[in-house]
Structure 1
Amino acid sequence: LYLTNNKPNIMNTSTFTLQSKWVILIPLVVLLSTCLIGRVSALPASFPSIDRRIEIVVTGIVVDQKTSSPIPGVTIKIKNTETVTVTDNDGRYRITVPNEQSVLVFNYIGYDAQEKQIGQQKVINIALTSSQSDLEEVVVVGYGTQKKADVTGSVVRANLDDFRNSPTTNIANLLQGTVPGLNIGQVSRAGATPSIGIRGQNTLGGNQNVLIILDGVQYNGSLTSINPDDIASIDVLKDASATAVYGAQAANGVLLITSRKGANGKTRIDFSTQYAIQSPNVDLKPMGREEYLNNIRYLFYDQAFLAPNYTEPNPAFDLASKVDPSMRDAQGNLLPHDFSWFDEATRRGSVSDNQLSVSGGTDKISYLLSGNLTRNAGFINNDLFKRKGIRANIETKATSWLTIGLQSFGSFVNESGVEPSFGTINSMSPIILPYDQNGNLKINPYNTNVTNPLLSYQADDFDVKNYFFANVYADVKLPLKGLTYKINYGNNYRVELKNISNQYDANLTGEASKENTIYYDYTIDNLLTYTKILGKHNFTGTLLYGAIERENSYTRAYANGFSRITLGYNNLQQGVNRFAISNAYRESLNYQMFRVNYNFDSKYLFTGT
């Protein structure tokens, strides 16, 4: 007996009407059921509705309204849902929508977003319009600035506004996900600088670092020294034009970082403070005692469980005989401990950031003075990053034809402390304790050459880096209209001190060392720029001559074999074996560059370098 040809009731889609023949048959079925099983089963008052919704497949092509050329990589999203697709290299797309009321949203960088309701259309072609505000934006290019609409190379300005309030200690973290083709890696230490790659790897064994240009001057210091709050903009040069301007050192791309300046108006005082907590976004905690022992049982499943199904525990299985001898007592029994090495070596991470700035200006002078105090404690004990910094950016119009400015900062970074190896922490057994009965750290908990990862707590580590940067510049308007001259004199000075001692180093004989690194470079750029407009023709010529000189010196003194290491690295002569090494280098280079930009009616562009 079965039901057929039931049609939904118009008033209620969750109930069905029955044909007249079923009105007669159903009482007979009920009576028959009563006779056979002695009870009546109630029939459902309604039958489940049948979902007759048919999804709609929409296809189309997205083009530029002005050139009619297809646009690859356009994001198409169903509004108020998470369904997303992108156009292929030919600008074509295909997406499945739930109904005719669905709305598609088309988005692409540099274009105005568009929305389109599906209706009864199966093919929807879209022409995106360039965003005028985006095209009028001025971006920094090598040794100059241009309107984005006039740029012929691949230059992208990172969107920092959405991330300025995020708790970060490194400006590289602000760039994650802001620029297509810019890859920002991960870090494993507080305050560390992630790897930065532009358009993938360009060399197998050579230098893979991007070139950093800070306020027009090459910067070889660490990005950890730069206060993110002091940055106004970051532009990324991604194509061969970067190499044409900066040479082979820009083969991996260029980051052009511009610091903030004061603006005309009354003196403005800004202060901000924030505190954030950090924790891993995945559960990294290793197994506890019972999980650890169960894992051993599974490794010896053919002995720990009874055949043939191997699901029932074997009461004769001797678990203690399968573990390392260091996990058994003198009688051969398992030690009773359930120690969490993870909890002992980790904590809740935090970021504390304090910013203070004073800025203002008039028609003749503008200024920005700022200070910052940042502290980042990683989730592994002893992983600590601290930074103090000051900045002074001052610009004055000395005359109608001369502008003089200073861009400078000092940054003092402290990364003292040695954290335990996280990999070793996770490999330690919960049955073994790191401390002996007297509360002292065990050197070899497994009674092998595997040392206790918590021994790093005993290190006396002093790790500081002091960065100093100053760029003095002058802009001169020459008598010939459209001709300007600019000179940059940039200086980078860095002092690194790394002192450490640990009684457990050098095969437990103790070792101490002192390292000093001093780095200095200067840059002189002479820049001549000429701009001429003739009707719809716009010419800009740039001539550059510059020189850079760098020097670095390194010294390390260390000793081992200490009978007493109380004074550590401040008394290296107490070591039996004493050593000293040093090295230094100096390099200089000069460079020339000529560039011409031609623009006809903002339609035809040419750049030659």
Structure 2
Amino acid sequence: MLANFNPRLRSLLYFLSLVFFIPFSMNAQEGTVTGTVIDQTSKLPMAEVSVSLKGSTIGTTTSGDGKYSIRVPSLKGGTLVFTTIGYGNQEFAIGGKTTIDVSLSTAANNMNEVVVIGYGTASKKRMTGSVASVKAAQLENENPGTVQDLLRGNVSGISVSQSTSAKGGGDLVVRGRTSLRAGFSPLIVLDGVIYQGQLADINPNDIASIDVLKDASSAAVFGAKAASGVVLVTTKRGSSGKPTITLNSNVGFSDLAMDQPLYDGPGFVKWRTDVQNSRFANRKPFQFDDPRNLPSNISVADWLKYDNSAGDPVDVWLNRLELKPIEITNYKNNKTIDWYDLMFQRAFRQDHTVSMSGKKDDFTYYMSLGYTDNEGVIVGDRFKTFRMRVNLEGRIAKFLSVGMNMQFADRDESQVPVNWGQMINASPYGEIYDADGITLRESPNDDLGN
């Protein structure tokens, strides 16, 4: 009996040792690493520096005095990564240490970036003026629909307004408005040539980079036209290697972010009642209220005597609200129009661009075709355009290169959107068509001019 019991006892003791001792062994490997992060030049503590364990989701940030504390699963292995904007990343192996102090140095990699400055190109480290640059390749995942989309929120010192129309875009303002009456739009320079056309004619998929000259030094190159800043647009060129064909296609829908409901029938009547009550300070009690809902101390006969009216009390009431005959008829027939559904729509949007680029010996080429068809959220708002670009450049001698930049655009902006300002005031008891059901009425409620 004892011989059979001992193996079971030994197994039980072995299991208990696994349960109680292994967690203590694992916990013994965990630990906390602390330290301070400072600027290598100024020796001042740095706040909001990201501290993370490489290859994991464990991380923290430094406090206002540059200190950090991060718990890691093992002190024997692992690497801490220190990152922040404007400074070079640094990595330190933990190697059993519980304290790691770090000094970060300023990153100088972007100082060698080349920007366009109007009379050529220069590296940022040699620039003395105020220039902001954005590379279109950095924003490809945003699928910009216009040139303004490339600039909006990506370049400091330039304000780009929003446009809710199907065409999109917006106004560009560099350094704020500089005049009360004169224009404040910046000068647009496309591939070194002053551009007089619309930005909507430039396909954003053809753009390689945009540089914005924001200070007064731009006037030295472009004169008084640059008083409001300069936006330099550089389009794509062919690169060495085999021909590259690129297809960019976007399809989507656009909806209202917030509903703008209009008055329904009862709401419109209540609004007209409030209008009349505010217009006539000497009105009689309940003069503009529904005679079917008068208080017990006012009879319909007394209510009619307010202006010596006679006939159907409902007709008298609606006439006091200054409703037109067509509105009174539809009110009695309980017939209304939902102008909201007739005004707004789910807008379909599509944009397609195909391009081909390459380089053969000393000859580079870039060609593209683009088609855009956007609907607006307001019925009748639509923008269509077909755009084409050809950039060719060839070296015919060591000292001479010849090239051609050609752009073609065909815009269709003939659509007439619904007038939002008129629609919000339209009566739900109006009519769209005349009695024939085909001819549009000049006014839904026969109130011409209003």
Q: TM-score, normalised by structure 1?
A: 0.51
More strand by share: 1
| Equivalent-residue separation in structure 1 for 2:109 and 2:215 (angstroms) | 24
Match of 1:315 among 278, 293, 315: 293
Structure 1 counterpart of 2:182, which letter?
G
| Equivalent-residue separation in structure 1 for 2:412 and 2:401 (angstroms) | 37
Partner of 1:448: 447
Structure 2 counterpart of 1:182, which letter?
I
Write the deviation string for residues 508-563 of structure 1: whole angstroms up to 9, x where unpaired. Answer: xxxxxxxxxxxxxxxxxxxxxxxxxxxxxxxxxxxxxxxxxxxxxxxxxxxxxxxx
Does residue 234 (structure 1) correspond to residue 210 (structure 2)? The answer is yes
Structure 2 counterpart of 1:428, which letter?
A
Partner of 1:419: 417
Sort the Cα spacing of 1:129 and 1:314 in 2 relative to 1 into closer, same or farther, 3 A: farther
Does residue 131 (structure 1) correspond to residue 131 (structure 2)? The answer is no
Does residue 268 (structure 1) correspond to residue 261 (structure 2)? The answer is no
Sort the Cα spacing of 1:78 and 1:184 in 2 relative to 1 into closer, same or farther, 3 A: farther
Write the deviation string for residues 134-153 of structure 1: whole angstroms up to 9, x where unpaired. Answer: 12211111211111122111
* C-alpha contact (below 8 Å) 1:158/1:175 kept by paired residues: yes
Deviation of the 1:322 alpha carbon? 5.9
Does residue 183 (structure 1) correspond to residue 181 (structure 2)? The answer is no
Sort the Cα spacing of 1:66 and 1:254 in 2 relative to 1 into closer, same or farther, 3 A: farther
Partner of 1:146: 122
Structure 2 counterpart of 1:218, which letter?
I
| Equivalent-residue separation in structure 2 for 1:238 and 1:69 (angstroms) | 32
The residue matched to 1:325 in structure 2 has which SS? coil
Partner of 2:348: 350
Write the deviation string for residues 154-182 of structure 1: whole angstroms up to 9, x where unpaired. Answer: 11112533533445442112211001121
User: After the TM superposition, which residues 11-160 of structure 1 pair with which residues of structure 2 at under 5 Å, given as runs?
Assistant: 66=41, 108=85, 110-112=86-88, 129-160=105-136
User: After the TM superposition, which residues 398-477 of structure 1 pair with which residues of structure 2 at under 5 Å, given as runs?
Assistant: 398-439=396-437, 440-450=439-449
| Equivalent-residue separation in structure 2 for 1:126 and 1:243 (angstroms) | 45
The residue matched to 1:280 in structure 2 has which SS? coil
* C-alpha contact (below 8 Å) 2:201/2:409 kept by paired residues: yes
* C-alpha contact (below 8 Å) 2:318/2:328 kept by paired residues: no
Structure 2 counterpart of 1:315, which letter?
N
Sort the Cα spacing of 1:374 and 1:141 in 2 relative to 1 into closer, same or farther, 3 A: same
Write the deviation string for residues 181-201 of structure 1: whole angstroms up to 9, x where unpaired. Answer: 211112243224311011211
Structure 1 counterpart of 2:445, which letter?
Y
Does residue 256 (structure 1) correspond to residue 256 (structure 2)? The answer is no
* C-alpha contact (below 8 Å) 1:169/1:224 kept by paired residues: no
The residue matched to 2:211 in structure 1 has which SS? strand
Does residue 364 (structure 1) correspond to residue 362 (structure 2)? The answer is yes
* C-alpha contact (below 8 Å) 1:345/1:420 kept by paired residues: yes
Q: 1 or 2 for the larger relative contact order (CA 8 Å, sep ≥6)?
A: 2
Sort the Cα spacing of 1:266 and 1:332 in 2 relative to 1 into closer, same or farther, 3 A: closer
Write the deviation string for residues 475-532 of structure 1: whole angstroms up to 9, x where unpaired. Answer: xxxxxxxxxxxxxxxxxxxxxxxxxxxxxxxxxxxxxxxxxxxxxxxxxxxxxxxxxx
Partner of 1:202: 178
The residue matched to 1:423 in structure 2 has which SS? helix
* C-alpha contact (below 8 Å) 2:366/2:390 kept by paired residues: yes
Structure 1 counterpart of 2:349, which letter?
V
| Equivalent-residue separation in structure 1 for 2:214 and 2:429 (angstroms) | 53
Structure 2 counterpart of 1:373, which letter?
Y
* C-alpha contact (below 8 Å) 2:276/2:321 kept by paired residues: no
Partner of 2:148: 172
Sort the Cα spacing of 1:431 and 1:106 in 2 relative to 1 into closer, same or farther, 3 A: farther
More helix by share: 2
* C-alpha contact (below 8 Å) 1:160/1:175 kept by paired residues: no
User: After the TM superposition, which residues 421-570 of structure 1 pair with which residues of structure 2 at under 5 Å, given as runs?
Assistant: 421-439=419-437, 440-450=439-449
The residue matched to 1:247 in structure 2 has which SS? helix
Write the deviation string for residues 309-350 of structure 1: whole angstroms up to 9, x where unpaired. Answer: xxxx99317774664312776689655233122221332212
| Equivalent-residue separation in structure 2 for 1:280 and 1:76 (angstroms) | 39
Partner of 1:390: 388
The residue matched to 2:435 in structure 1 has which SS? coil
Partner of 2:169: 193
Structure 1 counterpart of 2:446, which letter?
N
Sort the Cα spacing of 1:324 and 1:247 in 2 relative to 1 into closer, same or farther, 3 A: same
The residue matched to 1:249 in structure 2 has which SS? helix
Sort the Cα spacing of 1:359 and 1:450 in 2 relative to 1 into closer, same or farther, 3 A: same
Unmatched tracts of structure 1, length 5 or more: 1-59, 85-92, 116-124, 308-312, 452-609
Sort the Cα spacing of 1:138 and 1:204 in 2 relative to 1 into closer, same or farther, 3 A: same
Deviation of the 1:417 alpha carbon? 1.9
Sort the Cα spacing of 1:450 and 1:387 in 2 relative to 1 into closer, same or farther, 3 A: same
Deviation of the 1:258 alpha carbon? 0.2
* C-alpha contact (below 8 Å) 2:326/2:446 kept by paired residues: no
Sort the Cα spacing of 1:344 and 1:328 in 2 relative to 1 into closer, same or farther, 3 A: same
Write the deviation string for residues 218-255 of structure 1: whole angstroms up to 9, x where unpaired. Answer: 10110011011110000111112222332221111111
* C-alpha contact (below 8 Å) 2:330/2:336 kept by paired residues: no
Match of 1:286 among 245, 248, 262: 262
* C-alpha contact (below 8 Å) 1:275/1:351 kept by paired residues: yes
Percent identity over paired residues: 29
Sort the Cα spacing of 1:292 and 1:70 in 2 relative to 1 into closer, same or farther, 3 A: farther
* C-alpha contact (below 8 Å) 2:366/2:392 kept by paired residues: yes
| Equivalent-residue separation in structure 1 for 2:350 and 2:126 (angstroms) | 42
| Equivalent-residue separation in structure 2 for 1:338 and 1:70 (angstroms) | 69
* C-alpha contact (below 8 Å) 1:320/1:334 kept by paired residues: no
Structure 2 counterpart of 1:442, which letter?
R
* C-alpha contact (below 8 Å) 1:366/1:396 kept by paired residues: yes
Does residue 213 (structure 1) correspond to residue 212 (structure 2)? The answer is no
Count of aligned positions: 357
| Equivalent-residue separation in structure 2 for 1:148 and 1:67 (angstroms) | 23
